[in-house]
Amino acid sequence: MPHQRKSAFILLLLLPLPVFLLSLTIGSYHIPFGEVLAILFRGIDPLPNSSQTQIYRDVIFMIRLPRILLSLLGGIALSVSGASLQSVFKNPLVDSYILGLSAGAGLGAALAIAFLPNFVGLTQLFAFSFSFLAFMLTYFVARDRGQASTVSLVLAGVIVTALFSAALSMIKFFTSSEKLSSVVYWLMGSMAVSGWDEVLQSGPLIIFAFIIISLMRWRLNVLSMGDEEAKSLGINVERDRLVILITTTLMVSSFVSVSGIIGWVGLVVPHLVRMLMGTPDNRIVIPISASLGGVFLLLADDVARSLTSYELPVGVITTIIGAPFFLYLLRRRGGGSWRQ
């Protein structure tokens, strides 16, 4: 790795740390940066103005810290899955939602919110289950003679997404007006309900899947060359593709189940990483996508909870930022084709 690229690699990997510290100060209840550092690094040591410090400590550890951690984990899940699937499908416009995950999670959450009792974790369980069900349907519809080509997977994903979206529309039509607003708000994507329970529900799955993808980075490079080339190099294409599809589905569905549908992160961030690093090598793209993805979603959530007196859905913020930025990237490339 050239020295300049190596320096950029290290700086981008470390970028989440200052953004993490800055985010702890942002919110309707302002906490000075010095107090944040004192509370984090001095722990339970006595500080001046102890009653005020206790309030700061409660806000940081009970409200902001789990939300920030979940935003970082969600950014990792969405961006790494996008980078991985773009390599597997050899298509720059692919992200996790092409497999039907978004429509599946939306249908599951809508069913739970509209027709089931308001039990803790029930909405998340249904969203995760239906998201994974959508992927399984996509994969088995695409299989032909034991193989699932990239074209078949894309077409199957479009079909499954259309079916689940139609079912979601039917549910919204028959949902009472009181619960319909909750369904719509969930579909917009929000980190407002993030707590330690949500972090513990989704965090281990995201971290586990991310480790698997990281260990398969060089295989992603080979798969991006095409099936025939990969087979000639001794790669079991069907097995490796299935492992990557399952792990990306696992990380995305586990996050979407607790946050709602948040778009554009998995599409924009990998493109930005390839542009900044000047390489499509997944050994570099995957870790930097994780870093910048976490930063992107965390900053979007900071804007969502501080821009106005009431909280905006973070999915709206990522769309407002992501869509124009992606258009800029396309214009900057002059409409040229994207290649691994």
Task: Give the DSSP H/E element, type plus range, for residue 296.
Answer: helix 282-306
Alpha-carbon distance 88 to 227, whole Å?
A: 10
pLDDT score for 339: 47
Alpha-carbon distance 79 to 132, whole Å?
A: 18
> Residue 71 pLDDT > 80, yes or no?
yes
> Residue 340 pLDDT > 50, yes or no?
no
Mean of per-residue pLDDT scores for the chain: 86
> Residue 333 pLDDT > 80, yes or no?
no
pLDDT score for 288: 96
> Residue 150 pLDDT > 90, yes or no?
no
Alpha-carbon distance 100 to 138, whole Å?
A: 7
Judge whether 194 and 63 are in contact, CB under 8 Å.
no
Break the chain into its structural domains and give their ranges: 19-326
C-alpha distances out from residue 153 to 42, 113, 213, 241, 247, Å? 52, 30, 19, 11, 16
* Cβ within 8 Å of residue 160, ≥6 positions away: 99, 100, 103, 104, 134, 137, 138, 141
Judge whether 287 and 13 are in contact, CB under 8 Å.
yes
Long-range interactions of 44-48: CB distance < 8 A, separation 24+:
none
Closest CA to 162 of 112, 106, 207, 231: 106
pLDDT score for 163: 94
Closest CA to 236 of 222, 247, 246, 254: 222
What DSSP state is assigned to residue 60? I
CATH number of the structural domain 19-326: 1.10.3470.10
> Residue 338 pLDDT > 50, yes or no?
no
Ordered DSSP codes for 264-280: SHHHHHHHHHHHHHT--
* Cβ within 8 Å of residue 200, ≥6 positions away: none
pLDDT score for 177: 83
Judge whether 83 and 289 are in contact, CB under 8 Å.
yes
What average pLDDT does the segment 32-53 reach?
Answer: 73
pLDDT score for 43: 56
Alpha-carbon distance 106 to 97, whole Å?
A: 11
What average pLDDT does the segment 280-309 reach?
Answer: 93
Least confident of 32-46, 102-116, 125-139, 265-279: 32-46
Judge whether 316 and 184 are in contact, CB under 8 Å.
no
pLDDT band for 49, please (50, 70, 90 cuts).
low
What average pLDDT does the segment 7-32 reach?
Answer: 92
Judge whether 224 and 280 are in contact, CB under 8 Å.
yes
Three-class DSSP category at 160: helix
> Residue 203 pLDDT > 70, yes or no?
yes
pLDDT band for 127, please (50, 70, 90 cuts).
confident
Name the CA radius of gyration of the chain, rounded: 21
In the chain the beta strands, taken as DSSP E runs, fall at none
pLDDT band for 146, please (50, 70, 90 cuts).
low
Alpha-carbon distance 8 to 292, whole Å?
A: 12
The larger pLDDT score, comparing residue 132 to residue 336, is at 132
Three-class DSSP category at 144: strand
What DSSP state is assigned to residue 62? I
Which tokens in the block code for residue 219?
A: 């295989």
What average pLDDT does the segment 247-266 reach?
Answer: 89
Closest CA to 280 of 92, 81, 78: 92
Alpha-carbon distance 300 to 60, whole Å?
A: 19
Q: Which tens digit of pLDDT belongs to each residue from 74-97? A: 999 999 999 999 898 887 777 887
